[in-house]
Amino acid sequence: MAETSTERRRLRDVVPDIHLGVWPTGPKNGLTDVPGVLVNTQEIHDDKNGVHTGVTTILPRRTWYKTGCYAGLFRFNGAGDLTGSHFLKEAGKLASPIVLTNTLAVGAAYQGILEYVTQNHGDPELGIGCFMVPVVAETFDGHLNNLAAFAVQPSHIIKGIEGATSAAFKEGNSGGGTGMICQGFKGGTGTSSRVVQGLPSGTTDTKYTVAALVQANFGSLRNLTVTGVPFGRIVADERAAAGQPPPEADRAKEKRDGSIIVVLATDAPLHASQCERLAKRATVGLARTGGYGQNPSGDIFIAFSTANHVPIQQFDDDPAKKIDPFKPRVHDIQVVDDESINGLFEAAADATEEAIYNALCMAETITGFHEHTVEALPLDKLKAALDRYSYR
């Protein structure tokens, strides 16, 4: 594996005065700014076998197997997979880690979640101690990674669940984004967050965080737009003027277009329908960067709220814990008034947009499977273009 040694920086570090919406970022400008949310990224490299892939593990909370979150799902274009989507649609609840990986690793990731549960929260009779449907999403990294090696194993997922933390995590060639390609350049994992002023009740002010994590593997160079500047066209025109062919990344996408997975998290109290509406706003952020949801692209967005603790069915024989399924039981929750939700919608769009930029800016050039090389986005050219054309 060959990677660039040039220092990679997030977009705000490349252009410090850039305008990326009206809402401020959280302290880490990432998904783990949402209190309780934990993330782990793992990269798997094996030059001999052409393996360059990985796994991103997201825990909505440490006790995800006991108390779930309200969640919603939006499919912008469905040429991809997110397991557990039927239950998410049916019940509006997330009761699983969210694992992001490559297309052929979905089975191993699914098994890994179940192995973790049976080993740590099992039941002697049923094998599993709680109701759950694993949530695993994928994008295709077959240009840089030897998918047929099936490098991701259930043990990687167990390690990810056990190792997830609230710390800032590596972007670019990291986690499930290790082998991904985005808009003519090396893509991968990116994240960003926004903080929105709220007024939950009475007169006490509070702040809510909305954050995005993306696995960016979509699009073509000619469509790449950064804060309104057609940077992809600028680069494409320069290449054409110099007699250079289109980048290898674009040629790879002609065979198999990519996808993007967006995970949105918030501590604002949203019910399932509001989470689905929040997930839809990721489309706005994607569109700003030049994503169109092309026919073979799997553009799938999931949003969850950590504010309410939703009970998850436990397979426990203790009579004191049993619930009569024929006697409706009230569970009190808090929800945001729909008339005051617009700031959260804006934050979701802005965080998604910036997360994609961070994936591109942090990713490094890599030579992978069959000696395929995908170049990193040139930060010096990006800064020059934004300094010249963008309004700040």
User: Per the domain annotation, does 323 fall within a domain?
Assistant: no
User: Per the domain annotation, does 322 fall within a domain?
Assistant: no
Q: pLDDT of 37-59, one tens digit each?
A: 999 999 999 999 999 999 999 99
**Is the pLDDT score of 348 beyond 60?**
yes
Output the pLDDT for position 288: 98
User: Do residues 111 and 154 touch, judged by C-beta distance below 8 A?
Assistant: yes
User: Per the domain annotation, does 235 fall within a domain?
Assistant: yes
Output the pLDDT for position 5: 47
**Is the pLDDT score of 71 beyond 50?**
yes
- Rounded CA separation 152/148 (Å): 11
Output the pLDDT for position 28: 99
Q: Is residue 3 very low, low, confident or very high in pLDDT (cuts 50, 70, 90)?
A: low
Catalytic site residue from 141, 299, 305, 350: 299
Task: Average the pLDDT over each of 76-85, 240-249, 357-366 and give the range with the smallest value.
Answer: 240-249
Q: What is the mean pLDDT of residues 199-207?
A: 72
DSSP code for 82: B
Q: Which residues pair with 226 in a beta bridge?
A: 229
292 Cβ neighbours under 8 A, 6+ residues apart: 219, 223
- Rounded CA separation 114/11 (Å): 38
Q: pLDDT of 81-139, one tens digit each?
A: 999 999 999 999 999 999 999 999 999 999 999 999 999 988 777 778 888 999 999 99
CA angle in degrees (0–180, nearest 5) for 354-360-366: 160
Q: How does DSSP assign 158-212, residue by residue?
A: HHHHHH-BSS----BS-GGGTT-EETTEE-EEEEEEEEEEEEEETTEEEEEEEEE
H helices within the chain, ranges in order?
11-14, 85-91, 106-120, 154-163, 231-241, 248-255, 272-280, 282-289, 342-362, 379-389
**Is the pLDDT score of 202 beyond 60?**
no
**Is the pLDDT score of 253 beyond 80?**
no
Q: What is the mean pLDDT of residues 365-390?
A: 96
Output the pLDDT for position 314: 84
User: Do residues 206 and 187 touch, judged by C-beta distance below 8 A?
Assistant: no
User: Per the domain annotation, does 228 fall within a domain?
Assistant: yes
Catalytic site residue from 259, 267, 305, 350: 259
Query: Is 259 designated active site?
Result: yes
Rounded to the nearest 5 percent, the helix, strand and coil shares of the chain are: 35, 30, 40
**Is the pLDDT score of 36 beyond 60?**
yes
User: Per the domain annotation, does 327 fall within a domain?
Assistant: no
CATH number of 222's domain: 3.60.70.12
- Rounded CA separation 267/24 (Å): 16
Q: What is the mean pLDDT of residues 315-340?
A: 86
Query: Is 220 designated active site?
Result: no
The chain-wide mean pLDDT, for the chain, equals 94
User: Per the domain annotation, does 326 fall within a domain?
Assistant: no
Output the pLDDT for position 35: 98
Q: pLDDT of 164-192, one tens digit each?
A: 999 999 999 999 999 999 999 999 999 99
User: Per the domain annotation, does 201 fall within a domain?
Assistant: yes
- Rounded CA separation 302/96 (Å): 13
Q: What is the mean pLDDT of residues 190-212?
A: 88
Q: Is residue 315 very low, low, confident or very high in pLDDT (cuts 50, 70, 90)?
A: confident
Q: Pick the more confident residue, 324 or 10.
A: 10
Output the pLDDT for position 200: 61
Claim: this prediction has a pTM higher than 0.85: yes
Catalytic site residue from 96, 297, 305, 350: 297
Domain residue limits at 374: 2-317+335-386
Alpha carbon distances (Å) from 293 to 110, 146, 159? 26, 25, 33
Instruction: Report the number of distinct structural domains present in the chain.
Output: 1
- Rounded CA separation 118/99 (Å): 17
Amino acid letter, residue 227? T
